[in-house]
A and B are shown apart, each in its own frame.
Chain A
Amino acid sequence: MTDEMIGRVISCVAKTQKLPPETVTIDSKFEELGIDSLDGVNILYALETEFSVSIPDEGVLGIKSVREAVEQLDKLIAATGTNGAAKA
């Protein structure tokens, strides 16, 4: 979990939700940010594009905060052996 990665996840969440990035932190819970189920899948889509990964359905229910999103992505990136770089 690097600061760079946390920054990119926060940026995805903020952009999708049209929130000022400074209002989103690693400890933000989705519920506190007013993120509902449809917002949630929209954020997952943004993260999949940003990190060039496919987030399986099985892990999705466990992602309810910025921290959980980062942890899930960490695992996925480690498993796929990519560096999580954005697609050119």
Chain B
Amino acid sequence: MERRVVVTGIGVVSALGKNARDFWEALVKGRSGIGPIRQLDVTTMRFKNGAEVSDWNPQEHFEGKKPDFMDRFTQFGVVAAREAVKDAGIEWNPTLRERTGIVMGTCMGGMGSIDLGFQDLYLANKGRLSPLTVARVMANAGASNISIEMGVTGPAFAVSTACSSSNHAIGQAFRMVRSGDVEMALAGGSEAPLNFGHLKAWEALRVVAHDTCRPFSADRQGMILGEGGAVLVLEPREAAIARGAKIYGEIIGFGMSSDAHHLTQSASEGAARAIQGALRDAGLAPEQIGYINAHGTATLLNDPMEAAAIRLSLGKHAECVPVSSTKSMHGHALGAAGALEAIATVLSLKNCMLPPTANFTTLDPKCEIDVIANTARQKDVEYALSNSFAFGGLNAVLAFRAPR
């Protein structure tokens, strides 16, 4: 018999603050964390803005030599996991450590470390790289460091599906808890994509806005890259109730699909199949969905594609579902995006408050959906979806239920 899976702890590092409380406060106020990139010199970059984690000082979070062993993306993941575990009130014991899984998403892993290393190697002609490079760069460094720090010895792995990474990660963890593979899971993702080489690669794609991120607006220019980490603690509902844990919400379904179409252009049919998969898995009818946290990148191609996918999968009901893209505030944190948005979604359901799409001007007529514009909407919603549609056509959608 399948078990019900609830969220009992959350942790966030983002441009909107370095804990879940600040993150939520900014989301509800519609306050965007987008601004000039400060952690590196972007004078030669065509775009100058990002959603940065401000004033990140690794020594505040890690002792002695530890920060040297971790890329920024790993640090974000570990700090978010700590907050989530503390928030959930987990008391570790050897059995629980062995029966806990960790699944973390990341798109680029420790690319910032390899970028700096290559500057030493090719520009400074140093002729050698730090022996810590491999351990900092590997995509599983987030999952591994969480496991080592917490002594968690159950299954742990990283998932990399570009912008869907952490939705795929949370989906896998959800199924592991649901089936009884594990008794608890730490799931989410982290990303630190603001390094020179990587920013230049995005610049060449010409999909990054010069001003800000305006999902579904007619005058949107594109996406804004963001960074951060987000982790959720997942447990069987009965176990959570038995130990008196607070429950943020329930994950009730997960749908995946591939477009088999194009490396950078998503197809609405593929995205719609992932939404339908999540509804089927959750046993929900389209009419039951009361909120969608959109993928909503604000690129010219994504937003009309996503609006079409919502219409394809929800039919007539698509017109009455409030939709927002919180990327307008925390930016597009790639492999951490799904996890940030999952936390935004469970908090929306728990607090009966749907966060807005910030920076919104006028609706693009090609995006015929009910966009929550600029101001949060107070609404008691029972069921919500959170969409992720990645480059390469890999789609992952999570379905949530309010804790009531």
List residues of chain A with CB under 8 Å of any chain B CB: 36-38, 41, 44-45, 54, 56-57, 60
Judging by beta carbons under 8 Å apart, are B264 and A38 in contact? Answer: yes
Q: Is B239 an interface residue (CB 8 A)?
A: no
Judging by beta carbons under 8 Å apart, are A60 and B206 in contact? Answer: yes
Judging by beta carbons under 8 Å apart, are A57 and B206 in contact? Answer: yes
| Known contacts A56-B46, A57-B46; A38/B206 CB under 8 A | no
Other-chain contact of A37, B47, B221, B265 (Cβ < 8 Å): B265
Q: What residues on B are CB-neighbors of A57 within 8 Å?
A: 46-47, 206, 210, 221
Q: What residues on B are CB-neighbors of A56 within 8 Å?
A: 46
- A53–chain B nearest beta-carbon distance, Å: 13
Judging by beta carbons under 8 Å apart, are A37 and B210 in contact? Answer: no
List residues of chain B with CB under 8 Å of any chain A CB: 46-47, 204-206, 210, 221, 262-265, 301
Beyond A36-B262, A44-B206, A57-B206, 6 extra complex contacts between A and B, CB < 8 Å: A37-B264, A37-B301, A38-B262, A41-B205, A57-B47, A60-B206
Chosen A-B contacts, 16 in total, with CB atoms closer than 8 Å, are A36-B262, A36-B265, A37-B264, A38-B262, A38-B263, A38-B264, A41-B205, A41-B206, A44-B206, A45-B204, A54-B46, A56-B46, A57-B47, A57-B210, A57-B221, A60-B206
Q: What residues on A are CB-neighbors of B301 within 8 Å?
A: 37
Give the number of A-B contacts (CB < 8 Å): 23
- Nearest-neighbor residue (CB-CB) of B44 within chain A: A54
- Nearest-neighbor residue (CB-CB) of A61 within chain B: B300
- A13–chain B nearest beta-carbon distance, Å: 17
Q: What residues on A are CB-neighbors of B205 within 8 Å?
A: 38, 41
Q: What residues on B are CB-neighbors of A45 within 8 Å?
A: 204
- Nearest-neighbor residue (CB-CB) of A48 within chain B: B204
- Nearest-neighbor residue (CB-CB) of A45 within chain B: B204
Task: Give me the 9 closest cross-chain CB pairs, A-B, nearest first.
Answer: A38-B264, A41-B206, A57-B206, A57-B46, A60-B206, A41-B205, A45-B204, A38-B263, A41-B204
Q: What residues on B are CB-neighbors of A54 within 8 Å?
A: 46
Q: What residues on A are CB-neighbors of B262 within 8 Å?
A: 36, 38
- Nearest-neighbor residue (CB-CB) of B301 within chain A: A37
- How far apart sit A3 and B265, CA to CA, in the bound complex (Å)? 35
- A33–chain B nearest beta-carbon distance, Å: 17
- How far apart sit A36 and B300, CA to CA, in the bound complex (Å)? 13
Q: What residues on A are CB-neighbors of B264 within 8 Å?
A: 37-38
